[in-house]
Amino acid sequence: MSEIDARVLTTLVENANDHVFIVDGEGRVLDVSPGAAAVYGMSREALCATTVQRLEAEGVLTPSVSLEVMRSGQPAQVMQTTSTGRRVIAQAYPVFVGGRLERIISRSMDLTDLQWLQQEYQLLQRRFSEHLKRSAAASLGDDLALDESQGELRIRSELMREIALLLKRVAPTDASVLMLGESGVGKTAFARQLHRWSRRREGPFIDVNCGAIPESLFESEMFGYQPGAFSGAARQGKAGLMEQAQGGTLFLDEIGELPLAMQTKLLKVIQDGSLTRLGDTRARRVDFRLVVATNQDLARRVEEGRFRLDLYYRLNVIPVTLPPLRERPEDIPGLVELQLARLNRRYGHDKLLAPHVWQELMGHDWPGNVRELENWLERAWLSAPGEMIEARGLAPRHSSRAPEGAILGADASSPVPGAVWLADDEGLKAGLARIEREILAELCAQLPSTYAMAKRLGISQPSVVRKLQRHGLRISDGHR
């Protein structure tokens, strides 16, 4: 190595934001970045005088990502626990010379930093939400513009109006949007509306369900292929879905199901703005706006080593969390009217809902969200013999929230065992809100993160964040 190359390498290591390790093919630590000492509890000199085998055996870091590379010969990503009590995510890459493993370059990131960034984002999101409310109150024109250009969206709740206004304001940019929320909340509908509001509205909208394409076919479907690239390939070749999105929007639904190998290839396309078809050597420029969606906790999948951290950062530019339908029942009438209009056009008859059905629809919990509502309406429409839909049988809201005998807040001293009693002059809504706040406050003192709270409560992490914001609660400082 020349003196210039050596100085370049030294500069990179010493100024890296992440914690960098350089290890030889036998596991000896050759160099580490200065910041690694605080995370792993050893000086830079001590780390450079040992091996990754010994570091793992002594519990300084568990497990060793470098040892994983030595075993597999492939890049690896693991979640480590350090002797200082830190949790870090580590990625490592092999360097081969003449077919021999000569070096392993690893970098790790302390997730404490990521957690603080998430908390800062939540604060900014709350402030932006308050700004949108003030802007909407000060300018009726914005609301009217939203009402006139909703397309297939039907928004009446204040929460969804804020989200729609945010999307409308970022639509003219090319920033990547990450849509989060339970299955069936309407992420695809919002992605389509974002496309209609964007400057790419005249271009194509390519909708891809990452969970529906077999892994063996994913690369050829996404990147396309040249004639003769593989057995059974079309003689004229084929443009992939990314190429088909040229000048428009590429919507990747269920992005959490994307295989790791494809995550790497997608990241390269995002960074380079080009792709290469299977069987080709020529790179092709691509220009599309990327919107992705998932009902999974991507941050948790990063921790588990099932989603690339660098791709997560690339996608998480404008994160938007769509709340479940049970948290915005005001939107149900508009969604019902839209679906009934579709069904009446599709089947050539005009049917109406009986008044009592409206009451049942508003009282149901809709665990499958908008998709469940639309499917139920279609079944009810098809089964109705006349022009009036009289279907009954929907379970009331909250009917399955807790098993019998396990009511939240039950007190042994209550006059009726297992009962929750309302305070004087307290209605059902206020009573449920009070009980919810008490449960959340207790968990804030007991658990270290919103992810742990979500697991304990059996709901999504974004739902926990919204509930804490609604009640003015936060995780105890002792857990940070």
Q: Domain extents for the chain?
A: 3-109, 139-323, 326-389, 403-480
Q: What is the pLDDT of residue 423?
A: 58
Q: Ramachandran region of residue 220, left (φ > 0), alpha (ψ -120 to 50) or beta?
A: alpha
Any idea which of 317-321, 328-332, 433-437, 472-476 has the lowest mean pLDDT?
472-476
CATH superfamily of 139-323: P-loop containing nucleotide triphosphate hydrolases (3.40.50.300)
| Residue bearing tokens 């790419």 | 200
For 336-345, the pLDDT digits (tens) are 988 999 999 9
Q: Is 208 helix (H, G, I), strand (E, B) or coil?
A: strand
For domain 403-480, the CATH class is mainly alpha
For 409-442, the pLDDT digits (tens) are 334 333 333 344 555 566 777 777 788 888 888 8
What percentage of the chain exceeds 90 in pLDDT?
30
CA 359 to each of CA 30, 227, 334: distance values in angstroms, whole numbers, following the listed order: 70, 59, 14
CA pair distance 1, 408, nearest whole angstrom: 67
**CATH hierarchy code of domain 3-109:** 3.30.450.20
**Average pLDDT taken over every residue of the chain:** 81
- pLDDT at residue 15 above 80? no
Q: What is the pLDDT of residue 191?
A: 94
What percentage of the chain exceeds 70 in pLDDT?
81
Contact 459, 435 (CB under 8 A): no
Residues in the chain: 480
Per-residue confidence band for 151, with pLDDT thresholds at 50, 70 and 90: low
CA pair distance 3, 9, nearest whole angstrom: 10
- pLDDT at residue 233 above 80? no
CA pair distance 51, 20, nearest whole angstrom: 15
Q: What is the pLDDT of residue 469?
A: 79
CATH architecture for the domain at 326-389? Orthogonal Bundle (1.10)
Cross-strand bridge partners of residue 89: 79, 109
Determine the average pLDDT of the residues in 318-334: 90
Q: What is the pLDDT of residue 384?
A: 87
